Structure 1
Amino acid sequence: VSSEVKAIPTVIEELAQQHPNNTWMTIPNDPELCNGLRNITYRELSLAVKSLASWISKEIGIGKIDIDTAAYIGVNDMGYAVAGSACIRAGYKALLPSPRNSQEGQASLFKTTNCNTLLHSAGVDSYVETIRTALPDIRVYQIPSFDDLLEIGANTTEPLHAYTDKEDDIVVILHTSGSTGLPKPIYHNNGSIHVMGQLRNLPVPDGRRNTQIALFQPDVPMPTVAPFFHMMGRAITWASVLNRAPIVVLPPEKPVNADIIIKVLEQARPRQMISPPSVLEEVVEAPGGLDALSKLDYVFFGGGPLATLTGEKLIKVTKLVSSPLAYRKIRMTGSISSGPLARELTWNWTVIKPADRRFQGVFHTFPNIKEWRTKDLFEQHPEKKGLWLYKGRKDDVIVLSNGEKFNPVGFEKIMESHPLVKGAVVVGQARFQTGLLIEPEWSLVSESEDPTRLLDQIWPLIERANAEAPGHGRVWRSDIAIAKRDKPFKRTPKSSIARRWTVELYNREIDALYSNEGTDEAVGKLPADADPDTTKDFLRKLFRVKELSIPDSASEDDDIFSFGTDSLQILALASSLSHACSEGREVTISPRDVYAHPTINSLAQFLQHGGEDSQISCEETMAKMVKKYTHGLSRKRGPADIRQPEQHTYILTGSTGSLGNYALQQLIASPSVAHIYCLNRSADAESRQRQTFQERGAPTDFSNVTFLQSDFSKDQFGLKDDVYGTMLDTVDLFIHNAWAMDFNKTLQTYESTHIAGTRRVVDFSLESKYRAHIVFRWRLPAIHPGETEVPEQMFDDHRIPIPGGYGESKHVASLILAAAAENAGVPASVIRAGQLAGPYGEGQPWNKHEWLPSIVISSKALSMVPERLGNQDEIDWVPMDLAARSVIDMSESRTQPDQDVLAVAHLVNPQAVSWSKIVPTVRDALEAETGNKVEVVPFRQWLDELKKSPATPEEVEKKPGIKLIDFYEGLLSEGGGLPQLSTSETEKLSTTVRTMKAVDEGLMKKWLGQWRE
């Protein structure tokens, strides 16, 4: 490599003359890597650069490089190298902003660098729009594609050369991450870029090796996953040109993942690669990943510390080298490896070199400084002189309020080695002790699963991390918070966690974790031998300190959630309780414990039992609740005494849900319906309803609909007297369809709104002019003891519902309605529903994440479909739109005075078929879609094959059944699943059920098509 400083366009032109057919970059021919790779030569690179420089000069003019700047944003491909070099050649400094900058960040960057021109590739419209919005006067140009540039370049005459090779000429502008504010520009001159070609000349101590020589070898391809707008990506691009070392890139259309990287390694057959640690850790854990990496001579990592477990696996199969190349935001640096120790436990150690402008780019970026403090932390090797272990950034160190310091990086890397943990951040700056934020790998956590259960699964790893941490760095179980699914950790372009941004994002949750710092002083400790009254008094005091909005008049059996207590307050309360109960015993109270004991009485009893539940049975609790909410029911006028209106007026709760949407659409269209009152919790129900109607092409004439925001925990549903009075005078049918699905909550948590609300619905019927007929739907979750077919009648067996507040509350509500019918003559229909499926007509598709769609979608990826579905093999599914029609049928059929006051109906398809009848349709459709043969195999074989799939986000996307493996195992168990529900009485009530057709080939094809779309 020449020691003479030359600008990158000059080097590219020389390579095109001296090595025209040598490969510069290897790119995939398609996103899936099904059609191999394509080699881009130095001749083609030079031609594209000259062509684009000429195009720029014609479109925006020739620039003066000491004055003018042009920015480029594009997909992550060779466009960055071409556009950056072409801008320089046309006389412009090349500004390469991160597409992920905020609108404010882009505006600041463009204004600071006096840039008023933006070039961009195709496929980045949203990023361009962000900049347009921030800078309305900016000039924007979409550049031709690479292949178009080659065609244009073939006809280009005199190439532009509007730049010089002067060492101090600024030619490229990158920027800081903006983690401490707005991004700040970093100016690179020809000299700082030239460093990337000189690092191979770095003097090497005895027994050491120059990693630059191994990393960038002439004509030896090296895959890279770094984004090209980032310093790491730019450094690799410059080094590849200056060292004539070809690089291999991934498909820009796909997010970086282990599968893609393994395919690239298999097809490109490189001898080394460089990667950020987070990506490398994913590849090592993926099936075939370690084997693919074992074929490399070297694996380089940079940008942060690598998990020790990953490093230990890699050094057994290849040479692993820590490269400081990617650590620095604004400097390039060379590194010396630990030489012949390539497979010893020194893979993460490096050699520190003194300042030297030939090899340290920072002294070109800042020519007036003599020393550069990197703010990196290193630890000297205890035995091998000259070797230092990179320990992270000075910014990472947490200083506790007592002055103790703790570097959390090692703790976090241990946590992130667990497959269920996507990210971990230790917190505690200026606090009295450390805390921990955990971001789950959400693709492996079902939406219905309580995320806090994750803590039980990862606790052994936390204990291991605690064992390796200093005493002041250990994390208590009560000081751990689980991230929210809709609030992912902030990440840098290298996929590493942006600590400062993430901590700011979770400030409220962190404050909640530490809210017990002042609690000890305010409320003291709860002695282990505290009596019931002392415990209750302590809780009341703690609630006041934590500012829970619980009135003094609240009873000891009132649900704290009924007063607006939120999840952050529960997090803080659980943490404080753990600390308050720590005197003389080891008790950890989790948020789940508070959810399970939401009253002063129940929580006090739980604490007195040392954080363990007493033996009060769920069955007893349900029985007491039924008794409580049926007290005082007495018969008034019977339905036979009441004259019914000519047209129906409905109350429909939960109209914005799946069933509610279809029900409302059909009620609006019905000539027998005069008006519909939609009662929903949200204030924007009407706009949401209109949007969903528009999305599925349904008419949006709501002239006979009144949307009301309601609160079923309050008298009159929280409505004004005049509105409630009008409904009492007009409503004759009440479809109660709203029920919060929250698997955190207990039966007691459902009491104030849903259980008490059901009693308020009963009271409404009793007071209403037409004795409104109440229709209530719930799903029977288990086989009734001793029954092979469940008859259409009520059961008061409290063992029926699945344990948990949701199912138990529905069971209690149905028994309240049954008692209201029997004791007070309230017309009521309780509808037990089976599996509700996709629509029969047009409408919203069946949710892909439910168990059956997940089987079909996974079968496509597995090229096999199960021939049976275990205990769900009988297909008695009801399309969602027909389910809504059936509910309306049943509501209107019950207005006849000669019918029983209580009806129990079963919403299942009477024309059941076996899954085996449907399988050929599914198989044929999947074969037609994929072009591959799809086998029909036993369910056990299908499930075993699914279990072999790694639980990576990419695999879960293709095989969503991975998340439901436990559920599918349940389908194979004897006696599980839904019972067979009799429909003989239901068919008398609903023409829709009586005439319903079996799920057939046509219907299945419709659903398959919707999932495909």
Structure 2
Amino acid sequence: MRALTEVVEQPAAEQTDGLWVKTGASGKSAPVWSPIAWSQLVRTVDYVSHWTEALLGPTAEGETVLYMGLSDVQYPIMALAALNTWYTIYLALSRNPQNVQDHFLDSITCIEFIHTSELAAQMQALTMHHSELDPLQTGAIFQHEPASTPYDHFCLLQEGYVVLILHSSDPTSLPKLIVIRTGALATMDTVTFMSAPSGRRNMHDEPFAPKLIVLPMPFFHIVIITAQARSIYHQGSVALLSPGQPAMADFLTRAIKQNEPSAATLAPPVLEETRYFPSGLEILPMLGDVFHSDAPLAYSRGDRIAQVTNLQPHIGNTEITNAPNYVAEETGDWEYIEHSADADTDMEPATVPSFEMVIPDEHQSAGIEAPTGLEAIKGIVKTALRTCLGSSDREYTDDDGIYIGGFDSLRVLALSNIVLSLFL
């Protein structure tokens, strides 16, 4: 397994001025883009790593720190610095209201709270209700390109090591904590080796290619987390919206025209709005692929968009990462997801028109019904499950089978079977 902190050194050495990310903001006549090179990323991560260690001191495994900022570029830098210094980092979402932030802080024991200067007023309000917090402002560490000595204190991380813990955004209830482990991010590296039938493409083939893609989603969305990991593992540059920048159709169409990306991943509302913008249907054909995710796309609108570009569905969420599927063969299949046979799963009819993802019982125990639930995972899945779900207290046998049904169990498919399909 290759850790992100190790891999990021390679493009910085091989293509010093090569583009990692460009961030866009609205200008008077066109979006203004600020490029960040690989070498700048590594120097900034080294600087923030030294800054974090000097501020908080050396850490033992599992110590935590909390961070809240505005920029989708700052979040991955803080996460990489936390990996360097062996801190487990909580990432708070600045746009969450006060009661949600209070709920978050009540559910954790972390007191070291790093924040950017733009959020000083919000931090002051939080510390009024949580006197145990120790707020630490980043100052200007993100406002310039620091001259920093390399930070060489790399740690050998296991697949189950917690990289970061997200505090998600949920409009219907209080958000929950989402744990992202090293092994989950490492699948962004190894999944490209997954095979496909002759003449077919895996859904991730184009988004994971070393090409520029456009993404108008916040860091807390799985698409951005995947894109950031993919950008490092596969040196595929990303064009991102700036903090607080609305995902307007006008901005997107201009961004696509300026940057000429190979693909884009868009939420359905943004895609639908782009379709109604005067030049939207003229710009979308410039993209090799358009991936939609996060919510259903209205059929009438999706059907019209599919006539001008290669519209493809993307399955996954922040908790399960990406479930493997194939690129649709026919234009009219844009609303369907065809699961990957190499993921060692079957799609079995459930209730019309729904299907369940099922991991078949390879042992076919005669006369004995295979157990159900996570306790039935066969021995070879044990390590992967412990990695993905943190289930170190569970025991499994070589003859156990597993039945997968329901949304929550998809994490087993996404995080365990991707690994299994590569090495079995």
TM over 0.5: yes
Equivalent positions of 1:801-812 (< 5 A) are none
Q: Could you tell me which residue of structure 1 aligns to residue 11 of structure 2?
A: 15
Equivalent positions of 1:897-908 (< 5 A) are none
> 1:277·1:304 contact (CA, 8 Å) conserved in 2?
yes
Equivalent positions of 1:17-416 (< 5 A) are 17-28=13-24, 34=30, 36-66=32-62, 68-145=63-140, 148-151=143-146, 154=147, 156-161=148-153, 163-177=155-169, 181-218=173-210, 220-324=211-315, 327-341=316-330, 344-352=331-339, 353-354=343-344, 364-368=387-391, 373-375=405-407
Q: Could you tell me which residue of structure 1 aligns to residue 363 of structure 2?
A: none
> 1:90·1:160 contact (CA, 8 Å) conserved in 2?
no
> 2:31·2:254 contact (CA, 8 Å) conserved in 1?
no
Q: Helix, strand or coil: the match of 2:12?
A: helix
> 1:117·1:140 contact (CA, 8 Å) conserved in 2?
yes
> 2:41·2:77 contact (CA, 8 Å) conserved in 1?
yes
> 1:314·1:320 contact (CA, 8 Å) conserved in 2?
yes
CA distance in 2, matches of 1:305, 1:114: 37
1:50 Cα deviation from its structure 2 partner: 0.6
Query: What is the CA deviation profile of residues 36-77 of structure 1, one whole-angstrom value per residue up to 9, with x for unaligned ones?
Result: 4232111111111111111111222232232x1112222133
The amino acid across from 2:109 in the alignment is: N
CA distance in 2, matches of 1:372, 1:180: 27
Q: Helix, strand or coil: the match of 2:232?
A: helix
CA distance in 1, matches of 2:386, 2:321: 10
> 2:212·2:237 contact (CA, 8 Å) conserved in 1?
yes
CA distance in 1, matches of 2:141, 2:26: 15
Query: What is the CA deviation profile of residues 969-1003 of structure 1, one whole-angstrom value per residue up to 9, with x for unaligned ones?
Result: xxxxxxxxxxxxxxxxxxxxxxxxxxxxxxxxxxx
Q: Helix, strand or coil: the match of 2:272?
A: helix
CA change 1:293–1:176 in 2 (3 A) is same
CA distance in 2, matches of 1:173, 1:124: 20
CA change 1:129–1:234 in 2 (3 A) is farther
1:275 Cα deviation from its structure 2 partner: 1.0
The amino acid across from 1:260 in the alignment is: F
TM-score (structure 1 length as normaliser): 0.34
CA distance in 2, matches of 1:59, 1:36: 35
Number of residue pairs aligned between Structure 1 and Structure 2: 364
1:30 Cα deviation from its structure 2 partner: 6.0
Query: What is the CA deviation profile of residues 93-112 of structure 1, one whole-angstrom value per residue up to 9, with x for unaligned ones?
Result: 12112223343432343343
1:183 Cα deviation from its structure 2 partner: 2.8
Q: Could you tell me which residue of structure 1 aligns to residue 366 of structure 2?
A: none
CA change 1:158–1:202 in 2 (3 A) is closer
> 1:16·1:46 contact (CA, 8 Å) conserved in 2?
yes
Q: Helix, strand or coil: the match of 1:270?
A: coil
CA distance in 2, matches of 1:104, 1:64: 32
The amino acid across from 1:128 in the alignment is: M
Q: Helix, strand or coil: the match of 2:241?
A: coil
> 1:6·1:190 contact (CA, 8 Å) conserved in 2?
no
Q: Helix, strand or coil: the match of 2:322?
A: coil
> 1:276·1:303 contact (CA, 8 Å) conserved in 2?
yes
The amino acid across from 2:86 in the alignment is: G
CA change 1:237–1:127 in 2 (3 A) is farther
> 1:72·1:95 contact (CA, 8 Å) conserved in 2?
yes
> 1:337·1:350 contact (CA, 8 Å) conserved in 2?
yes
Query: What is the CA deviation profile of residues 598-642 of structure 1, one whole-angstrom value per residue up to 9, with x for unaligned ones?
Result: xxxxxxxxxxxxxxxxxxxxxxxxxxxxxxxxxxxxxxxxxxxxx
Query: What is the CA deviation profile of residues 464-498 of structure 1, one whole-angstrom value per residue up to 9, with x for unaligned ones?
Result: xxxxxxxxxxxxxxxxxxxxxxxxxxxxxxxxxxx
> 2:82·2:89 contact (CA, 8 Å) conserved in 1?
yes
Q: Helix, strand or coil: the match of 1:105?
A: helix
Query: What is the CA deviation profile of residues 6-36 of structure 1, one whole-angstrom value per residue up to 9, with x for unaligned ones?
Result: 2222221233223333211012366557474
CA RMSD of aligned residues (A): 3.0
Query: What is the CA deviation profile of residues 691-716 of structure 1, one whole-angstrom value per residue up to 9, with x for unaligned ones?
Result: xxxxxxxxxxxxxxxxxxxxxxxxxx
Q: Could you tell me which residue of structure 1 aligns to residue 416 of structure 2?
A: none
CA distance in 1, matches of 2:39, 2:85: 19
1:180 Cα deviation from its structure 2 partner: 6.8
Q: Helix, strand or coil: the match of 2:283?
A: helix
Equivalent positions of 1:507-656 (< 5 A) are none
The amino acid across from 1:309 in the alignment is: S
CA distance in 1, matches of 2:139, 2:28: 24
CA distance in 1, matches of 2:272, 2:125: 33
Equivalent positions of 1:575-974 (< 5 A) are none
> 2:66·2:112 contact (CA, 8 Å) conserved in 1?
yes
CA distance in 2, matches of 1:363, 1:213: 28
Query: What is the CA deviation profile of residues 855-886 of structure 1, one whole-angstrom value per residue up to 9, with x for unaligned ones?
Result: xxxxxxxxxxxxxxxxxxxxxxxxxxxxxxxx
Q: Which has the higher helix share?
A: 1
1:247 Cα deviation from its structure 2 partner: 0.5
Q: Helix, strand or coil: the match of 1:349?
A: coil
CA distance in 2, matches of 1:298, 1:216: 12
The amino acid across from 2:241 in the alignment is: L
Q: Helix, strand or coil: the match of 1:241?
A: helix
The amino acid across from 2:138 in the alignment is: I
CA change 1:320–1:126 in 2 (3 A) is farther
The amino acid across from 1:70 in the alignment is: V
CA distance in 1, matches of 2:24, 2:165: 28
> 1:54·1:160 contact (CA, 8 Å) conserved in 2?
no
> 1:169·1:190 contact (CA, 8 Å) conserved in 2?
yes
> 2:46·2:149 contact (CA, 8 Å) conserved in 1?
no
Higher Cα Rg, which structure = 1
CA change 1:126–1:318 in 2 (3 A) is farther
CA distance in 2, matches of 1:65, 1:228: 25
1:158 Cα deviation from its structure 2 partner: 4.8
Instruction: Give unmatched runs, 5+ long, in structure 1.
Output: 379-1013
TM-score (structure 2 length as normaliser): 0.77
Query: What is the CA deviation profile of residues 559-613 of structure 1, one whole-angstrom value per residue up to 9, with x for unaligned ones?
Result: xxxxxxxxxxxxxxxxxxxxxxxxxxxxxxxxxxxxxxxxxxxxxxxxxxxxxxx
1:274 Cα deviation from its structure 2 partner: 0.4
1:233 Cα deviation from its structure 2 partner: 2.2
CA change 1:225–1:134 in 2 (3 A) is farther
1:318 Cα deviation from its structure 2 partner: 0.8
CA distance in 2, matches of 1:305, 1:239: 25
> 2:31·2:251 contact (CA, 8 Å) conserved in 1?
no
CA distance in 2, matches of 1:161, 1:305: 45
Equivalent positions of 1:365-514 (< 5 A) are 365-368=388-391, 373-375=405-407
Q: Helix, strand or coil: the match of 2:145?
A: helix
Query: What is the CA deviation profile of residues 622-678 of structure 1, one whole-angstrom value per residue up to 9, with x for unaligned ones?
Result: xxxxxxxxxxxxxxxxxxxxxxxxxxxxxxxxxxxxxxxxxxxxxxxxxxxxxxxxx
> 1:196·1:332 contact (CA, 8 Å) conserved in 2?
no
Q: Helix, strand or coil: the match of 1:195?
A: helix
Q: Helix, strand or coil: the match of 1:273?
A: strand
Q: Helix, strand or coil: the match of 2:166?
A: strand
Q: Helix, strand or coil: the match of 2:204?
A: helix
Q: Helix, strand or coil: the match of 2:297?
A: coil
